[in-house]
Structure 1
Amino acid sequence: MTEQTAHQGAGMALQAFVLALAMAAVVGTALGFEHIGGYIPCALCLEQRTPYYVGIPVMLAAAISAMLKAPPLITRTLLVAGGGLMLYGAGLGVYHAGVEWSWWEGPADCAGAAGLTTDAGNLLADLNAIKPPACNEAALRVLGLSFAGWNVIASVTLAAGCLRVAFAGRAR
């Protein structure tokens, strides 16, 4: 292994780790809005988190693979998988944003149950007081974009990062 190849492996490990941190920051922000800000997610909101929950360990595996100098094909495959997960997440975000803008229908059963108590004494009161959000109503818009819209931007950016790292140096 040449010194340049070793340096590329260390760089790839660092970049995969940064991508894992970025994914954690995105989903952590969503969790913060939920648990600190009180925004109850709808079913599509919850579904959009799945690519992050899967993508974070995939990026950590890519970082470990690069650090342990595993065959580059393994590390690159993990990075491509992370990019694919983020593209899937972007697709979910586009679908959800389209539902919010009434461009197309959402799922008929799209209402979340998050935020309900597990205290049996308060359950009936909570059921009457908490209205689960519908997928076609944006809980908040920032600069004209809902959480789903911002997720599209984050997912596409992360997908581009994963794929850029996966294919960096391949043209040589």
Structure 2
Amino acid sequence: MRPTRNDALFLAAAASLAILLAGYWFQYVVGLAPCKLCLWQRWPHLIAPVLGMGALAVGGRMLPLAGAVTMAVSAGLGLYHTGVERKWWPGPSSCSGDVAGFRGMTPEQLLDPTQVSPVVLCDQVQWSLFGLSMASYNALLSLALCAFWLWGYALSRTTH
């Protein structure tokens, strides 16, 4: 049996949902708090299942293309975050060790938990496997999912 457009799009959307759920599992079960860049990387995986459901429901070519762009953005965010973790370039000052936001606070404010929320540093790897961080895996998986969205897009062109 030959894979169809809907097979490719369903797989791409379901895989994004699985990646999103894995992020929440690492956060709430394993106890690894996400940094700002980690949270940014969740957005494309939240959008992709919605695009997938829409593409499966209405057909056409634009939603698979939007899914591919969404996963390209996710891959870009993952690559950017990987570079920040490996110190190839600076990350956002709000999560990469810059303390400028704390300079104007009094000692009492710094000790008050209602004034200061915990900061998870974007340039520190919290978990890795085979030398790759979660950001690196997100980049690789997002590139693969981009290919699935493009495959669905190509199949949409031949079937519609």
- TM-score interval, smaller chain: 0.7 to 0.9
Structure 2 distance, partners of 1:47, 1:55, is 14
The answer for unaligned runs of 5 or more in structure 1 is 1-7, 67-74, 112-122
4+ runs deviating over 3 angstroms: 123-128, 169-172
TM alignment of 1:53-92, pairs within 5 A: 53-66=46-59, 75-92=60-77
> Does the CA contact (< 8 Å) of 2:91 and 2:122 recur in 1?
yes
Pairing partner for 1:163 from 130, 145, 150? 150
TM alignment of 1:87-126, pairs within 5 A: 87-110=72-95, 124=112
Structure 2 distance, partners of 1:31, 1:150, is 15
Structure 2 distance, partners of 1:108, 1:46, is 16
> Does the CA contact (< 8 Å) of 2:8 and 2:151 recur in 1?
no
TM-score by length of structure 1 reads: 0.75
Q: Could you say which residue in structure 1 is the equivalent of 2:103? A: none
Report the number of matched residues. Answer: 144
**Larger RCO, structure (CA 8 Å, separation 6 or more):** 2
Q: Which amino acid aligns with 1:149?
A: S
> Does the CA contact (< 8 Å) of 1:93 and 1:149 recur in 2?
yes
> Does the CA contact (< 8 Å) of 2:4 and 2:155 recur in 1?
no
Q: Could you say which residue in structure 2 is the equivalent of 1:141? A: 128
What's the Cα RMSD here? 2.6
> Does the CA contact (< 8 Å) of 2:5 and 2:151 recur in 1?
no
Structure 1 distance, partners of 2:36, 2:83, is 15
- Equivalent position SS for 1:135: coil
Task: Provide the identity percentage.
Answer: 32
Q: Could you say which residue in structure 2 is the equivalent of 1:36? A: 29
